[in-house]
Amino acid sequence: MSNSEFDTAIEDIANNISNITLTDTEVEMVSLTAAKEIAHTLKSFSGRSEHLDFFIVSVDKYYIRYHEGTQDESLKEFVFASICSKIIDEAGDFLLCRPDLKTWPQIKTALRQKFGDRINRQVLSEQLNFLNRNKNESILDFIERIKL
């Protein structure tokens, strides 16, 4: 096959592909399938504050892609249920006690208020950098003094 024949064949394939259209139902099914697969990769959140930021960032990406990016109400319901199913243990118990939380943004705010760090990590890091052991202080006394 010559280069021109190859180019023509590629052009024909490209034209055939561009003529393929999906119905709205087919697009919704593709989106639902993708949302299900991605939902399996989301990590759970049990209430440990050191895991909250990672959980929120990953769920935000999922939520924006599959909830805000669609008009399909069944997909939106699935996405919300998937997110809620990833909130377990102490955080899950908290969520059960809060039936007023009906959207991911509401849940995210409530989780931050309940389980978020109350200490600014940057300030804490700077404070720890300036701690020194006193002249006649034992290591055990120093450790006891800096315990939070």
Q: What is the 3-state secondary structure (H, E, C) of the chain?
A: CCHHHHHHHHHHHHHHHHCCCCCHHHHHHHHHHHHHHHHHHCCCECCCHHHHHHHHHHHHHHHHHHHHCCCCHHHHHHHHHHHHHCECHHHHHHHHCCCCCCCHHHHHHHHHHHHCCCCCHHHHHHHHHCCCCCCCCCHHHHHHHHCC
Mean pLDDT by 10 residues, the chain (148 residues): 60 64 65 85 93 94 89 91 96 96 96 83 75 86 78
> So what's the pLDDT on residue 95?
95
For residue 26, the model assigns a pLDDT of 64
